[in-house]
Each structure stands twice: as C-alpha cells, then as structure tokens.
Amino acid sequence: MLTNSAIRAVQLGVKSLLLHKLRSLLTALGVLFGVSSVIAMLSIGEGGSEQAQEQIRQLGSQNVILRSIKPPEDPVSNQQVRVLDYGLTRSDLERVRDTFPWATNVVPVRQLQQEVRSGENVLNPRVLATTPDYLAVTGRVVGQGRFLEPIDERMVANVCVLGYEVARRLFPFESSVGKRIRIGADYFTVVGTILPRVPLGEDSAKPGEEITGEVFIPLATGRRWFGEIQVKIRAGSRDMEQVQLHEIIASIDIPENVPVAAAAAREMLARNHRNHDYEMVVPLELLLRAEETKRIFNIVLGSIAGISLLVGGIGIMNVMLATVTERTREIGIRRALGAKRKDIVVQFLVETVVLSMGGGLAGVLLGVAIPTYVEWRYDMPTIVEPGFLLLAFGISVGVGITFGLYPAWRAASMDPVEALRHE
C-alpha cells in the first residue's frame, strides 16, 4: 500500500513535470552539469594523483635516495680545473652504513657513460655499477637468468644484467642470457635480464628518460675497467669529471623511521658537502606532499562542485516557487478534496526530487562519459570510483529535498479558501 502510493506520487510528479517539458528540462540541466562536473573532476583528479603516487612509489617508498649533482659552476676557476671532482664519496657510503641503524640495506650506484654493443647493434644505455642489493631495494624483478651476486663483486667478474629494453634491442630474436656483449672496450657475459617496471598507462617514462634502458654491472668491475674519471666529449670541449658514487640508496626498515633517517642524512651531507654537490630524494616525503596536494585539490574541486550544485538548487527552487504560485488553484482543489498539508508537501517535494534526480541520473551518465572520453582522446588515466557516482547522485537528491522544502511548505501553508479563489 505504501509502495503503491509512493509509485502513484512519483507518477503524478512526472506527469506534472511533463506539463512543462522545456521548463523541467532546463531546470534539471543545472543539477545535470553540477553532478557531471563533480564526477568528471573527481575521476580525472583521482587518475592524475594515482599516477603521480605510483611513480613516487616506484622509487621505493621506504628509501632515502642521495644523488650526486654537479655543483654550480664557478666561472673563474673553471678554466684551471681540469678534472671536476664532486659528488658522493665512498666515505659517505661507509658513514651511512655505520651510523644509520634504521637502514636495512645501503646500496651504492655508479653511473657510467659507456657504449654497449653486440655485433652491429650499438646502444647508449645507462650503465649502472652497483651491488646485488640494488634489486631488493628498488623492487625490480629478474626476468631471465639472475641478477648480480656477491660472488661477482668479489671476483670482479665481467658479468652484466640487461634491462628489458636493452636486451630486446641487442638481441631482438634470441635470449640474451649467456651471450657476450661489449661495454666500452671490454667484453661482458650477460647473466640475466630484469623486467621493466609495472607499466602505467601506455608510456610511464617521462620524455627523454628510457627507464628500462639500463645495464647493470658489479660495482668493483665498474671501478676496475672504467675508473673514476669520466670524459664527456662535447662540441669543442672535453669535460672530465670525477665522481665516486652517483647514488646511494638507503632502504629504511619501517616507514615511521624514514623521516628520522632523512633528517640524519641531510645533516650528514650538509656537514661533509659544503659545495652542495648532492641532492636528496625521499619518496615518502614526496608521497605525503602529493597526498596533501591531492587533499587541497579535492577541497577546491569540492567547493566548485558545491557552488555549481548550489546554483542548480537555487534554479530548482526558483522554478518550484513559480510552479506553486501557478498551481495555487490546484492546491486549493486538493485541499478541498481532503488533502492534508502533509500531502501537499509530499506532492511538491516528490516533484522537486524527481526533477533533481532526473538531472542527477543524466549527470552521472555524462559524468562517466567525460572521463572515458578524456582517457581515450588525451591518454590521461582516469579513475571512476562507484563511490563518486553514489556521492553525486546522493547530492542531487539532497539538493532536491533541500531546495524543494520551502516551495512545498509555501504550497501547503496556503489557506484553502484563498487558494480556491485564485485565478
């Protein structure tokens, strides 16, 4: 019985709204755009921030990364200095190893500028001289064969592990494991390959950065064959650089200790490197910052969406007030025929809610369509969570009730005698 009368109330509401099709449509548009913009903005925002967070997470959320950077050049002294000596040193590495109780793994990385070739295939990947722990610290996964082992380090073995992209380019048609390749002037045996990072979207690498273009060799081997001085030949000049370590990655035991370790590392570096030839990357801090950014972004989005829904709601209220005035006589008739105030309130409230819910439903459809189109057309990741749809739809119903109450109350509080006399 209750459901029956509810269905009848909705039917009556729809009928009354269809009496003024254009007016109802235009009124619902306000809610439609409000709701669809909420969903679209949330989805696109969520997609973007998810992508950013995933990139940060790939750096290792429990890592503290120290990097060598070229100090700001001193134009006067530059002429005389023949070998530019800067960056992290092996003593930095020892210090981190000895004094960071929170570090479970400390991995040094040297980056070498060397040509890699196999037969006629020549590449210029990043040649990274590092220790076996690199794999664990960065969360990379072995594809074929194995990664570097401690024995390689002790034996100063001429072995290498290829990144996915390098392996594919050097040996397009066969397995690279067991093959010999040339790095610089020396021959190395390929002992394994590692998989690319989990791909995100179509191309997760930033322009110019070939994430998988990597070759790994043992740290000691790198030092033996390539020394510490690297010569960069540019047009008209030869730059010589001496960098002991390009990167030190310290893996911290629990996330809570990351800020402590980061502070300690910062202090240590500041003391030992007065010329600021280093930088620190703390993915966890970046992550927190990204989350904070996202929070602010959501507040801004929420305000915009709230305003647009408010405007939509006011539009609805305006139209409903006009409708109530227009239908004063109908209200009088219904009251004379036995309708209680409550019945009149329900009637007009149902009409408003049907209107805003119609707009809300259409808004949900449009709100899903927009991110889908954006993803397809602009290749931007978007995430449409079911929660967004529920939220937006719930808001539209809420808007209907909020802005429908006053007109409905106005209708119900009319004096039947006056209402019947209304022309």
Partner 1 sequence: MSAAETTAVAQEAVAELEDVTRVYRMGDNEVRALDGISHRFEAGEYWAIMGTSGSGKSTLLNILGCIDRPTSGHYRVRGTEVADLSDDELSELRGRSIGFVFQSFNLIPQLNVLENILVPVLYQDVVPTDIEDRAAEIARRVGLDTRLDHRPAELSGGQQQRVAIARSLINEPDLILADEATGNLDSRTADEILALFDELHSEGTSILLVTHEPKVGQRAEKILQLADGRVASIELGSGGGKC
> For partner 1, which is the closer residue by CB, 246 or 335?
335
> For partner 1, which is the closer residue by CB, 110 or 335?
335
> For partner 1, which is the closer residue by CB, 194 or 331?
331
Cβ atoms of 140 and 212 closer than 8 Å? no
* Stretch of residues binding partner 1 (CB under 8 A), selected from 13-21, 24-32, 234-242, 378-386: 13-21
Instruction: Please report how close the Cβ of residue 402 comes to partner 1 at its closest, in angstroms.
Output: 25
* Stretch of residues binding partner 1 (CB under 8 A), selected from 140-148, 259-267, 297-305, 414-422: 414-422
> For partner 1, which is the closer residue by CB, 296 or 417?
417
| CA angle in degrees (0–180, nearest 5) for 305-311-313 | 100
> For partner 1, which is the closer residue by CB, 4 or 80?
4
Instruction: Please report how close the Cβ of residue 414 comes to partner 1 at its closest, in angstroms.
Output: 11
Task: Go through the chain and tell me how many residues it has.
Answer: 423
Dist CA 411 CA 328 (whole Å): 7
Instruction: Please report how close the Cβ of residue 56 comes to partner 1 at its closest, in angstroms.
Output: 59
Dist CA 103 CA 349 (whole Å): 63
Residue pointed to by tokens 């805003």? 356
For 393, residues 6+ apart whose C-beta sits below 8 A from its C-beta are 35, 357, 360, 361, 364
Cβ atoms of 158 and 105 closer than 8 Å? no
> For partner 1, which is the closer residue by CB, 239 or 330?
330
How large is the angle between the packed helices 258-272 and 90-99, nearest 10 degrees? Answer: 140
Task: Confirm or reject binding of residue 420 to partner 1 (CB under 8 A).
Answer: yes
> For partner 1, which is the closer residue by CB, 290 or 420?
420
Side chain identity at residue 293, one-letter code:
T
Instruction: Please report how close the Cβ of residue 422 comes to partner 1 at its closest, in angstroms.
Output: 11
Answer for which of 19, 195, 270, 299 binds partner 1 (CB under 8 A) is 19
Fill in the per-residue mask, 362 to 401: x = in contact with partner 1 (CB under 8 A), - = not in contact. Answer: ----------------------------------------
How buried is residue 42: exposed, middle or buried, by Cβ count under 10 Å (0-12/13-18/19+)? buried
Cβ atoms of 285 and 372 closer than 8 Å? no
> For partner 1, which is the closer residue by CB, 154 or 329?
329
Restricted to residues 306-345, the positions that interact with partner 1 (CB under 8 A) are 329-330, 332-343
Instruction: Please report how close the Cβ of residue 339 comes to partner 1 at its closest, in angstroms.
Output: 5
Which 8-state DSSP code applies to residue 253?
Answer: S
Strand ranges inside 323-407, DSSP E: none
Answer for which of 15, 70, 90, 289 binds partner 1 (CB under 8 A) is 15
Task: Confirm or reject binding of residue 242 to partner 1 (CB under 8 A).
Answer: no
* Stretch of residues binding partner 1 (CB under 8 A), selected from 15-23, 133-141, 379-387, 400-408: 15-23
Cβ atoms of 64 and 97 closer than 8 Å? no
For 314, residues 6+ apart whose C-beta sits below 8 A from its C-beta are 403
Instruction: Please report how close the Cβ of residue 399 comes to partner 1 at its closest, in angstroms.
Output: 24
Kind of pairing between the strands at 237-242 and 83-85: parallel
Residues that bind partner 1 (CB under 8 A): 5, 8, 12, 15-16, 18-19, 329-330, 332-343, 416-417, 420
